[in-house]
Chain A
């Protein structure tokens, strides 16, 4: 946090609603960071699933495909494994979409709050990501 030079000081009092807006903004920021982390994890999983399905398609097939469920491997047929992969991919894509939606709505809310807070405090407040 910087110390504003005396000439640029804005003598605005912080009201209850300003404090609430600041708190809201901080909360949204924290949630945004979480969302982005989750998103990265899901993207990584999707990549792995993609690699797995490619491998499946290229493999000779038969009964020697093993699926990791929980912490043990189960012998499965190629079709079962492919079906499993596809179901997982679908599930994750859905989650990814909902995360994207949430992220968009958070960014929107933050933009509005920024307008309000910059309007109230001008240079005395710092709202950007370092």
Chain B
């Protein structure tokens, strides 16, 4: 069966990644599965020409760690994907020369790591998207109370007693005290000015953190695109190489 090639091939630390099921984790934009099937077909046809790559290649993989395909990290420790200038030269820089499956496997592993990281960053970003309007609402409310106090009025409000039930209350703004919920069942008393300062500071912090998360997200997306393009290039290089070798063998 054609699939057998992949279970048998690299008995390496990345061999687990080459089982076809793994490719479901790749983004739909890279239908690497189809391309891998194409590669399998090529192997199958060339196997009869004596270019049988089905024999277990005990490629020495101590050379090929994830370090070989990363190029440092950004300020927050996210690795940078190594851009390959020349696929052929890069493959031959390992001893023994790395096969396409090995390289694609390594990039694929890095790619899925980035994808998981992207998901967690996106969640963080969405949390901030909720947090920031929340703080803005609280800030608006306290400012409103402040202005009522300055106007010397009391505020009549309907507050949320329970779901769909509101209670009417009169807020004596001259007292000038609000209680802010700090989370973890902790509530603290503040004057209007203190509360406004505190909330403004919180808002600033949240916005800065949210900006950092956005930057990281953009960075991770760049790495994902780079690794996808690299995988495709390695694959194409391999296809051309095999085709060239197969062409030579097939000379009548």
Interface residues in chain A, defined as those with a beta carbon under 8 Å from any beta carbon in chain B: 1, 3, 11, 13-16, 19, 22-23, 26-27, 30, 66, 69-75
Contact = CB atoms under 8 A, between A and B. Distances in A.
- The main secondary structure of chain A at its interface with chain B is mixed
Interface string B154-190: 0111111000001000000000000000000000000
Interface stretch (B1-9, B97-105, B222-230): B222-230
B30 A72 contact: no
B141 A70 contact: yes
B29 interface: yes
Contacts, number: 61
17 contacts: A1-B29, A3-B35, A3-B38, A16-B83, A19-B226, A22-B229, A23-B222, A26-B222, A27-B218, A27-B221, A69-B144, A70-B137, A70-B140, A72-B141, A72-B160, A73-B157, A75-B156
Contacts of A1: 29-31, 232
Contacts of A13: 86
A74 B148 CA distance: 11
Interface of B: 29-31, 34-35, 38, 83, 85-86, 137-138, 140-141, 144, 155-160, 166, 218, 221-222, 225-226, 229, 232-233, 240
